[in-house]
Structure formats: C-alpha cells, structure tokens
C-alpha cells in the first residue's frame, strides 16, 4: 500500500470499478483538493487523493452500499453537519474495538468513541444504519480503511484478519468490485 504516490495501474482500476468516463468532469480538481487539505490541515493519502482530484468526487454506485460520498460531504445517516470533526487530530485506534461489548483499556471510553467518529478520517460513505466507512487521513493508521458503526470500529485489510483484501482505498475498492463479502476471512 503506497499512500504517498498514486500508481497509474491502481488509478486505471479505480476508473474502471466506478465506471468513470467523463474525463474528470466529476472530479474535484487539484485546486479543490489543495483547498480541502489546507482547510483541514491534512494531506490525503494516495490513491484516494488523485482519485478525487482527477477521476471523480463521489459516485452513486458503491462502494459502499449507498455510494461514495463527495470529499467534503457526509452520508445522509451521519446525524449532524460534521462541524465537530477535526481531521488534523489523529485517528485514535490501531486495532478493532467493539465498544458495545467492552469498554477497552480507556479511562474515558466515550471520549475515545467521539474521537473515532470525529478525528483523523474522512467518511467515504455508508452501508446504512450508521455503518460507515472511513479513510484515515491522520495518525498511525493513515491510508487504512475502517468500518465504524454505532457498536464499534474494525480495520479493513488482510493484515488485520477480518478480510482477505489488500489494505487501503484501492484494496477496498478492488474487494468490492470483485463482489466479495466485506469481512470474508475465516
């Protein structure tokens, strides 16, 4: 997973997976990406960064189930306007956590849950019922995809043991495009 340089082969696969054929008309453009990054104090990980700048900024088709939201947007079921989000603060987790079942090793679990929802990640979209996919943009998990729900958060990628997929945005999209279940590891 290379989060610092966009691989042309990955970009071609992303274009094919999303059926992007408008020569970038639906993309945010580099000026828009740079403005977003400056506003939030982050640099988006590749290949997502080039994807929204040059290919498309959101898509009605998945992933996830209800489509990929635009960079500065939130899914319809997000619940607020996102003003409490701080992308420059690091995403707090390094392993999955089902907070509904376990308070974890945290002194203030509610504060950590708030950080999971609001720090260091952009929301890619939803599978509905508050099951959202995040791309981590700040912290040790930068470049990784996380599935964040109302009961917990799980990292995506074979390295974490829940799926056979490659990590990162391109691996997440390839897994979806192949028609595989999200968490297909046995």
Per-domain boundaries in the chain:
8-177
The torsion angles phi and psi of 169, rounded to 5 degrees, stand at -60, -50
Read off the pLDDT of residues 120-177 as tens digits, 9 standing for 90 and up. Answer: 999 999 998 889 999 999 999 999 999 999 999 999 999 999 899 999 999 999 999 9
Q: What is the pLDDT of residue 77?
A: 66
Q: What is the pLDDT of residue 79?
A: 61
CB 43 within 8 A of CB 49: yes
Architecture of domain 8-177: 3-Layer(aba) Sandwich (3.40)
Q: What is the pLDDT of residue 78?
A: 67
The overall average pLDDT reported for the chain is 91
Calpha distance 62→172 (Å, rounded): 11
pLDDT tier at 83 (50, 70, 90 boundaries)? low
- Tell me which residue of 133, 117, 132 sits closest to 84, measured CA to CA: 117
C-alpha atoms less than 13 angstroms from C-alpha of 75 in its C-beta half-sphere = 26
Which helix (H) or strand (E) is 31 found in, with range? helix 30-40
Question: How much is the pTM?
Answer: 0.94
């Amino acid at each position: 997973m290379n989060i610092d340089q966009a691989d042309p082969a990955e970009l071609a696969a992303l274009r094919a997976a999303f059926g992007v054929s408008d020569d970038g008309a639906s993309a945010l453009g580099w000026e828009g990406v740079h403005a977003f990054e400056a506003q939030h104090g982050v640099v988006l990980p590749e290949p997502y960064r080039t994807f929204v700048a040059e290919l498309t900024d959101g898509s009605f088709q998945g992933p996830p189930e209800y489509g990929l939201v635009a960079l500065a947007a939130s899914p319809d079921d997000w619940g607020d306007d996102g003003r409490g989000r701080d992308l420059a603060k690091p995403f707090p987790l390094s392993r999955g956590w089902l907070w509904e079942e376990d308070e974890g090793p945290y002194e203030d679990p509610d504060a950590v849950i708030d950080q999971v929802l609001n720090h260091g990640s952009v929301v890619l979209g939803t599978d509905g019922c508050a099951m959202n996919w995040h791309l981590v943009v700040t912290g040790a998990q930068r470049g990784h995809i996380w599935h964040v729900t109302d009961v917990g958060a799980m990292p995506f990628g074979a390295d974490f043991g829940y799926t056979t997929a490659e990590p990162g945005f391109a691996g997440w999209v390839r897994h979806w495009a192949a028609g595989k279940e999200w968490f297909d590891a046995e």
